Structure 1
């Protein structure tokens, strides 16, 4: 093992630590996961973009609203698995 020192804004660190704790991860584990994904992807594990985050979020919201209105709902997992071909 080795130590990695990274400079981040206090607010970023605080908010990230809380978000990670909510899913059962600590900062060290999350950074390790990120670095392992960098190795797997041979680059960033996401696509950096200059797109307006508000427009991206609005598109996600529209897609989610459409799915809620028109998407198929399941009452049991057997039906879902059957439709997914996982029987």
Structure 2
């Protein structure tokens, strides 16, 4: 097998943290990247789940709906700044 060089850019902190982790696992950065690439090839895709966004759970959905309802309800007092809210709360 003929080797080829691969050059990637990554921020310094990420590189240092990854190097530290891989060293603790007994791996070099090269070995870790090769593991990733070979796994991607074997699985015919990225070897972990990619998400655009998480789906909110029922509690979050209800909170969003309540917030929207409150925002549209003129009978519920709203506040333009934190000072008004603190005064209303007595804090």
Q: Same fold (TM over 0.5)?
A: yes
Q: Secondary structure at the match of 2:34?
A: helix
* Structure 1 CA distance for aligned equivalents of residues 54 and 12 of structure 2: 26
Q: Which residue of 2 aligns with 1:25?
A: 27
TM-score scaled to structure 1, two decimals? 0.57
Hey, which of these two has a bigger chunk of helix by percent? 1
Q: Which residue of 2 aligns with 1:34?
A: 36
- Aligned-pair distance for 1:17? 0.2
RMSD: 1.4
When Rg is computed on C-alpha atoms for both structures, the one with the higher figure is 2
Structure 2 portions without partners, runs of 5+: 56-91
TM-score scaled to structure 2, two decimals? 0.54
* Structure 2 CA distance for aligned equivalents of residues 2 and 45 of structure 1: 22
* Structure 2 CA distance for aligned equivalents of residues 47 and 5 of structure 1: 25
Structure 1 portions without partners, runs of 5+: 53-87
1:36-67 deviation line (CA, Å, top 9, x unaligned): 00101111000112339xxxxxxxxxxxxxxx
Aligned residues: 52
